């Protein structure tokens, strides 16, 4: 059916159709939010929160439900950007910037590069197992428990205070200097591990030549 | 006093370990140019480990807590020494195996050294995020190390299973930590304890869920039933020295962390987690030992045996008290010595025969009586026979549980321990009562390193079993840091 739509051939049909559906779905939400804002039912930050929350949930659903893994990765970007919006609402703009740079930029690019280099794009369709309905049930159950727990608790600190970037720097590089260095060791291990696992088992060129000489 | 904010000299042992790891990678890179022999890398690793262990002994009774993030105290020092000893044993008894069966030897030793740093900081962490990042350092190194075996396709499979399940467990752990942070308002142990001691009724379900997730995540790392599924596969697929390391440092570090958390910040909410711990302890003791009965592969057998041992250690967490904390430290030390003795014997056996099924041990008493003796002592000690380390350490562990009001738990532990004797005896029966396979009845000898490793560890097993006083004193001093009443 998708092939019959009048879309220029150079666009990925699923992305175009998906984007259209996303925009059509977002329009009524945006309309309702703006109406509530104009009627003074919601304050501006609340409107932003609900919009961002809708973006996060939609992106997460897309990540899980889209059959093409590249599309799922792109959909993940929406979720990560939405989380950056939440950080902004909480008054921690530094964290929001880091989230944008590291997750919205770095991690997603890394993910897409990984897919490209491992040629996952050639065979991009995820095969769901027979346990898919069961997995959905368990996921819904766990999600329900979490929501119930978060709503049930009477949290002590609910107001977000903006934390200055100077404080963050002092905490991160003075008090938390040692864990910070441990994190860098984790990165070192990940690097060593990636190379050690990915490097092929074939003998190195010099060794192969040496063997030829001896035989 | 220096002008620095903290006394960074206290971290010298870890600086040495990390420096050695980097030195090994560099030496591996320029191996051909420098004309290094095959013994150089393990030698550097062993020397660095000895230096780190010796350096940590210099800081007994020194205390600094780095703004409540990492505590260097006698408790940390205890585990520092323990982990460096384990690392040394794994390097010495495993280097022949590594030479033959591991793809990248330089990376292998570097990962072992770095994972030991993670293990040490798991023992030292006094803050949830530091604990988490240390767990990840240990786990990441082991995910990679498990899949480094050269020709064994099971190795890659084991690595994949380990990394997938480990990732899920880490996620659960983080969820649990975030809920506890939300309820307590801080990630530092001391402030969590202060927040919880004032009553936690308004958090109810959220705190309970946080505890469940925390216990599930750490239970996975310790391979407690029902979070043990990865253990037999990872143990079987991993290179043998890594299997030994998994069963030793990985377990001990998790328990170091568990003890610090549950004896400190979570002690005020003991009513909410004690029953969970007791349930998991019973399931782990009974489950691990019962499934071990059916195993035919020595690695899988030792995997399930180690799960059973985890059950006994969880019992000490359940009945947390001053006595059970120091008993747990004694038991961990005794278990490590015994388990490493068994594993270095199995490694030596594998170096000679390349086999690891239980039936391959038939007639070992004929072909190598010394190795059969080492394995027998180790197996009997794991089962808890008198005169050996296992008996003494289990005895005081069970006694601490019984006197802590958990007589029924101690009874279950004694029954489980009796069951375990059956499968340990199965190995011993094969070695002594069965004939060796045809054509393999000739005597053979171990390598010198094999003799040194197995001999020292077996001596340790007997020493702890007969004269355990010094170990008790040391464990007592380490446990006193936890300040349990």
pLDDT digits (tens, 9 = 90+) for B440-461: 778 888 888 889 999 999 999 9
DSSP string, B398-414: HHHHHHTT-HHHHHHHH
Task: Report yes or no on A199 lying in a domain.
Answer: no
Q: State how far the Cα of B197 lies from the Cα of B267, in Å rounded to an integer.
A: 9
CA A87 to mean position of chain CA atoms: 15
Residue contact A182–B133, C-beta within 8 A? yes
Residues contacting residue A211 through CB under 8 Å, at least 6 positions apart? A203
Query: Is B141's CB within 8 Å of A193's CB?
Result: yes
Spatial distance between the Cα atoms of B303 and B301, rounded to a whole number of angstroms: 5
Which of B146, B54, B141, B167 lies closest to B101 in space, CA to CA?
A: B146
Q: Which chain A positions have a beta carbon within 8 Å of B183's beta carbon?
A: 153, 155-156
Residue B66 Cα, gap to closest chain A Cα (Å):
7
Nearest chain B Cα distance for residue A176, angstroms:
7
Q: How many CB pairs under 8 A join A and B?
A: 105
Residue A26 lies in a domain: yes
**CB A40: neighbour CB atoms within 10 A?**
7
Q: Count structural domains, chain A.
A: 1
The mean pLDDT value of chain A amounts to 80
Question: What is the spatial distance between Cα B161 and Cα B147, in angstroms, rounded to a whole number?
Answer: 10
Determine, for residues A179 and B137 on separate chains, whether the beta-carbon distance falls below 8 Å: no
Within-domain flag for A211: no
Q: Torsion angle, CA of B203/B208/B211/B213, rounded to 10 degrees? A: -110
Which has the closest alpha carbon to B233: B295, B306, B164, B157? Answer: B157
The residue among B133, B17, B120, B141 whose CA lies nearest residue B75 is B120
Note the ipTM here.
Answer: 0.90
Check CB contact of A161 with chain B, cutoff 8 Å.
no
Does the beta-carbon distance from B134 to A182 stay under 8 Å?
A: yes
Give the residue numbers spanning the domain of A45.
Answer: 2-137
Cβ of A192 under 8 Å from any chain B Cβ? Answer: yes
Q: Which helix (H) or strand (E) holds B280?
A: helix B270-292
A110 within a domain of the structure (yes/no)? yes
Contact A189 B141 (CB under 8 A): yes
What's the rounded Cα separation, in Å, for the pair B479 and B228? Answer: 28
Rounded to the nearest angstrom, the minimum Cα separation between B92 and chain A is: 22
Burial letters B143-173, b for 16+ CB under 10 A, else e = bbbbbbbeebeebebbbbbbbebbeebbebb
**Which SS3 state, helix, strand or coil, does residue B157 take?**
helix
Q: Does A146 touch chain B (CB under 8 A)?
A: yes
Nearest CA-CA distance, residue A192 and chain B, Å: 7
Indicate whether A44 belongs to any domain: yes
Task: Pick the residue of A152, A180, A192, A202 with the most B CBs within 10 A to test the interface with B by mutation.
Answer: A192
> Which residues from B are below 8 Å from A197, CB to CB?
144, 147-148, 159
Whether B144 and A189 have beta carbons less than 8 Å apart is answered as yes
Instruction: List pLDDT tens digits, range A40-88.
Output: 877 888 888 988 999 999 999 888 888 777 788 888 988 999 999 999 8
Contacts of A163 (CB under 8 A, 6+ apart): A91, A92
Rounded to the nearest angstrom, the minimum Cα separation between B292 and chain A is 30
8 Å CB contact between B469 and B392: no
pTM exceeds 0.80: yes
Q: Residue A119 — very low, low, confident or very high, per pLDDT cuts 50/70/90?
A: low
Q: For A179, which of B69, B115, B150 is closest by C-beta distance?
A: B69
Answer whether B320's CB lies under 8 Å from B270's CB.
yes
Does A194 fall in a domain?
A: no
Note down pLDDT in tens along chain B; length 485 residues. Answer: 456 778 888 899 999 999 999 999 999 988 888 888 888 999 999 999 999 999 999 888 888 888 888 989 999 999 999 999 999 999 999 999 998 888 788 999 999 999 999 999 999 999 999 999 999 999 999 999 998 887 778 888 899 999 999 999 999 999 999 999 988 888 999 999 988 887 777 777 888 999 999 999 999 999 998 899 999 999 999 999 999 999 999 999 999 999 999 998 899 888 889 999 999 999 999 999 999 999 999 999 999 999 999 999 999 999 998 899 999 999 999 999 999 999 999 999 998 888 889 888 988 888 899 999 999 999 999 999 889 999 999 999 999 999 988 999 999 999 999 999 999 999 999 999 988 887 777 888 888 888 999 999 999 999 999 998 999 999 999 998 887 75
pLDDT number for residue B126: 92
User: CATH number for the domain including A98?
Assistant: 1.20.120
Q: Which of A145, A155, A196 sits opposite B104 (nearest CB)?
A: A196
């Amino acid at each position: 059916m998708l092939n019959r739509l009048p879309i220029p051939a150079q666009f990925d049909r699923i992305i175009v159709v998906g984007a259209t559906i996303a925009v059509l779905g977002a329009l009524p939400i945006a309309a309702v939010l703006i109406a509530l804002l104009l009627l003074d039912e919601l304050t501006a930050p609340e409107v932003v929160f609900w919009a961002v929350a809708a973006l996060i949930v939609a992106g997460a659903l897309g990540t899980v439900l889209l059959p093409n893994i590249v599309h799922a990765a792109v959909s993940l970007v929406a979720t990560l950007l939405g989380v950056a919006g939440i950080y902004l609402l909480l008054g921690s703009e530094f964290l929001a910037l880091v989230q944008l740079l590291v997750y919205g930029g770095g991690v997603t690019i890394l993910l897409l590069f990984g897919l490209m280099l491992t040629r996952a794009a050639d065979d991009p369709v995820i095969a769901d197992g027979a346990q898919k309905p069961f997995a959905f049930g368990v996921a819904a159950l766990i999600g329900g428990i979490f929501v119930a727990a978060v709503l049930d608790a009477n949290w002590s600190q609910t107001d977000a205070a903006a934390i200055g970037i100077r404080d963050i720097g002092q905490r991160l590089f003075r008090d938390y200097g040692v864990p910070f260095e441990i994190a860098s060791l984790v990165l070192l291990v990940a690097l060593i591990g990636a190379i050690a696992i990915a490097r092929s088992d074939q003998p190195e060129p010099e060794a192969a030549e040496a063997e030829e000489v001896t035989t | 006093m220096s002008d620095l904010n903290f006394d960074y000299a206290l971290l010298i042992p870890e600086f040495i370990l990390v420096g050695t790891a980097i030195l090994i990678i560099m030496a591996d890179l320029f191996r051909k140019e420098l004309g290094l022999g095959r013994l150089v890398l393990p030698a550097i690793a062993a020397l660095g480990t000895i230096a780190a262990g010796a350096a940590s002994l210099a800081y007994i009774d020194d205390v600094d807590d780095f703004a409540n993030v990492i505590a260097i105290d006698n408790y940390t020092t205890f585990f520092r020494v323990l982990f460096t000893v384990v690392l040394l044993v794994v390097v010495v008894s495993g280097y022949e195996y590594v030479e033959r069966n591991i793809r990248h030897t330089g990376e292998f030793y570097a990962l072992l050294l770095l994972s030991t740093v993670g293990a040490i900081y798991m023992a030292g962490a006094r803050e949830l995020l530091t604990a988490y990042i240390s767990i990840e350092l240990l786990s990441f190194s082991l995910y990679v190390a498990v899949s480094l075996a050269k020709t064994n396709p099971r190795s890659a499979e084991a690595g994949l299973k380990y990394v997938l399940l480990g990732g899920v467990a880490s996620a659960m752990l983080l969820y649990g930590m975030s809920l506890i942070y939300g309820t307590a308002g801080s990630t530092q142990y001391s402030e969590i304890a202060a927040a919880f001691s004032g009553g936690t009724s308004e958090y109810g379900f959220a705190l309970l869920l946080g505890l469940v997730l925390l216990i599930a995540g750490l239970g996975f790392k310790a391979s407690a039933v029902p979070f043990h599924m990865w253990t037999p596969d990872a143990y079987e697929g991993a290179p043998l020295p890594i299997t030994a390391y998994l069963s030793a440092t990985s377990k001990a570090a998790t328990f170091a962390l568990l003890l610090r958390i549950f004896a400190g910040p979570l002690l005020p909410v003991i009513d909410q987690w004690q029953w969970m711990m007791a349930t998991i302890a019973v399931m782990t003791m009974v489950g691990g030992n019962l499934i071990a009965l059916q195993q035919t592969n020595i690695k899988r057998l030792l995997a399930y045996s180690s799960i059973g041992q985890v059950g006994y250690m969880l019992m000490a967490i359940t009945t947390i008290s001053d006595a059970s904390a120091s008993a747990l430290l004694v038991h961990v030390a005794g278990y490590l010595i015994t388990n490493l003795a068994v594993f270095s014997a199995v490694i030596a056996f594998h170096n000679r025969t390349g086999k690891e099924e239980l039936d391959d041990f038939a007639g070992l008493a004929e072909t190598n009586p010394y190795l059969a003796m080492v394995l027998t002592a180790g197996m009997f000690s794991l089962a808890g026979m008198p005169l050996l380390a296992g008996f003494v350490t289990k005895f005081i562990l069970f006694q601490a549980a019984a006197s802590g009001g958990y007589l029924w738990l101690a009874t279950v532990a004694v029954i489980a321990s009796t069951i375990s004797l059956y499968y340990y005896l199965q190995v011993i029966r094969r070695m002594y009562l069965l004939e060796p396979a045809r054509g393999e009845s000739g005597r053979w000898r171990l390598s010198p390193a094999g003799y040194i490793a197995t001999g020292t560890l077996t001596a340790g097993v007997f020493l702890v079993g007969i004269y355990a006083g010094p170990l008790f004193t040391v464990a007592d001093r380490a446990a006193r840091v936890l300040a349990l009443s």
